[in-house]
Structure 1
Amino acid sequence: MHILNKDIEFIEEQRACSYFENKISDIRYKYMYACSPNSYQTMLERGWRRFGRMHFVPECKFCTKCVSMRIDVKNYKFSKSENRVINKNKDTKLYIRPPSMTMEHLDLYDKYHEFMNRKKDWPYSPIEPDEYSKSYVESSESYAKEFLYMRDDKLIAVALVDILPNAISSIYCYYDHDYADLSLGKFSILAQIKIAKEMNIPYIYLGYWIKDHFSMGYKEAYTPFEVLTNRPNLEEETIWKKYEL
């Protein structure tokens, strides 16, 4: 039996925090060669995230700043400014398909992260094809999708999205800042909300929200949303509550 066909679970303790300098974090990982929609739904509801075949959840002993959040799709109403973003993108074409990797993907990914390195001091080095494939392409599940945003036959944004019967998980998005006037990051989330409404999907999981954080605080703009108030294991009940800003 090949080991990669088996689930592997481990915890990484005392690692450098991705969001705060001089802080440490503890992350539980689960490598899953296959993950059914029902199993994935259970994990999403309990704060797990997915990159490729690797799932993870924070278990930091002394910090709870990373809060799992989800958009309440049914009660979401687009604001005037959000409708303007949607209208500005009337000529932006969206293609939804299984994740893939081309030189266009890699070049856009590097361009985005090089820009964020200058703007927000994100760490940056060009991504290797194998690393991109493991993080964003490898999955044996049909719910894994990529949203390709095109303008004039040019790839200008990519969003990695999981679409389940009762949830959309927004995994990652990168885009071309040369098209800043189109607000592509915001448009990608709004497009997912529209699709969720059309499919009667109740929630969009945006991952971890950190209030007032320079990179993770933006998620509170998508109200109404709920937050996970406990840290349940996979057998325990969840406590989701509407967040009041």
Structure 2
Amino acid sequence: MTDLAHLKFYATQPHPCSYLPGEQAVTLFLDPHQAIDIATYGKLSELGFRRSGEHLYRPHCAQCGACIPARIPVAVFTPSSQQKRILKRNRDLQMRTTRPAISDEIYQLYARYITARHSDGDMYPPSREQFRSFLVSEDAFCEFNEFRLDGRLLAVAVTDRMHNGLSAVYTFFDPDEARRSLGRYAILWQVEQARQANLPAVYLGYWIRNCQKMNYKTEYRPLEMLVNQRWIPVT
């Protein structure tokens, strides 16, 4: 495993925050020329790093600590009554795991999702190059998990498998299937996959108190958040 002390990191110049209007953000990136193995990626995830395409990053804002890394401790997680209903509602779906790649079918689903759910964000308008740079990686730990109903693609959960858990990188789904709560279902499915693989956690990325789109992450209890470099249980 790479010694973390010898890794190089670079900070961006301040830029408009994607989550909090009017705020400036700074992002810390791992040197893109640094080869990363799964163990190193896992260690960095414990320090709050996430993956976007081929890049590992975390917020590095001097005046703001709003972005708080969150993860689900698999061993003690129990679905709520609502989450059990979501699991039951999606029992008819078929799942297959594939290597990350862009196809017409997958991209069209992604484009519909971004247009319907995130037309007010910096991911709109969607493009194939954006999809490729954001979600496609050649690393062995990255996978696309496809959820289908009688062959029709309803959702894709982009997941990274590390030695210390699963990272729920991103999920996109058919916006016309709101009744199924496919985004929440994908997280519950990943929790079960981690449980079966004896992995301790599912990493959910960042929770931001004043960002409504992040509120769903607190539905998974107990939850752990990285505060002052310590993972603190939130019940």
TM (normalized to structure 1)? 0.87
**Match status 1:147 vs 2:148:** no
Structure 1: distance between partners of 2:141 and 2:107: 22
Deviation at 1:212, TM superposition (A): 4.5
Q: Is residue 16–residue 22 contact of structure 1 (8 Å, CA) maintained in 2?
A: yes
Quote the residue 2:22 is aligned against: 22
Output one character per residue of 1:170-223: Cα deviation in whole Å (capped at 9) or x when no partner.
000111111111110010000001111111111111000112521112101111
Structure-2 separation of matches of 1:186 and 1:36: 29
Is 1:89 matched up with 2:90?
A: yes
Q: Is the 8 A contact 1:68 1:228 kept in 2?
A: yes
Contact conserved, 1:34 with 1:53, CA < 8 A, in 2? no
The CA distance in 2 between the partners of 1:8 and 1:229, in whole Å, is: 23
> Following the alignment from structure 1 to structure 2, what is the Cα–Cα distance between the partners of residues 28 and 181?
38
| Corresponding residue for residue 241 of structure 1 | 232
Unaligned runs of 5+ in 1: 1-6, 231-237
Could you tell me whether the CA contact under 8 Å between 1:73 and 1:201 is conserved in 2?
Answer: yes
Quote the RMSD (CA, aligned, Å). 1.7
CA contact (8 A) 1:8 1:32 kept: no
CA distance in 2, matches of 1:57, 1:124: 18
**Corresponding residue pairs, total:** 228
Indicate how the Cα distance of structure 1 residues 69 and 51 shifts in structure 2: closer, same or farther if over 3 A, else same: same
Which amino acid is the alignment partner of residue 45 of structure 1?
E
Secondary structure of the residue that 1:50 maps to in structure 2? Answer: strand
> How much has 1:32 moved relative to structure 2?
4.7
Q: Deviations over 1:54-74 (max 9, x none)?
A: 111111011101101110110
User: Retained in 2: the 8 A contact 1:75–1:224?
Assistant: yes
Aligned to 1:78: 79
What is the alpha-carbon distance in structure 1 between the residues aligned to residue 182 and residue 74 of structure 2? 20
- Tell me the residue number matched to 2:193: 195
**Structure 1 equivalent of residue 41 of structure 2:** 40
CA distance in 2, matches of 1:229, 1:46: 10
Amino acid at match of 1:142: A
CA contact (8 A) 2:73 2:222 kept: yes
Q: Does 1:52 find its partner at 2:66? A: no
CA distance, structure 1, for counterparts of residue 167 and residue 123 of structure 2: 25
1:108 corresponding residue in structure 2:
109
Aligned partner of residue 178 in structure 1, secondary structure: coil
2:73 pairs with 1:68: no
Amino acid at match of 1:209: W
Structure 2: distance between partners of 1:126 and 1:172: 17
Residue deviations 1:92-135 (CA, integer Å, cap 9, x gap): 111112212101111111101111146xx334544332332222
**Which amino acid in the other structure matches residue 242 of structure 1?**
P
SS across alignment from 2:88: helix
Q: Compare 204-213 and 121-130 and name the one that shifted more.
A: 121-130
In the TM superposition, residue 22 of structure 1 has moved relative to its aligned partner by: 0.7
Which amino acid is the alignment partner of residue 90 of structure 2?
A: N
Say whether the 8 Å CA contact 1:106–1:127 is kept in structure 2: no
Give deviations 1:40-63, integer Å, cap 9, x for gaps: 011100011001211111110111
**Post-superposition shift, 1:33?**
5.8
Q: Is contact 1:68-1:227 (8 Å) kept?
A: yes
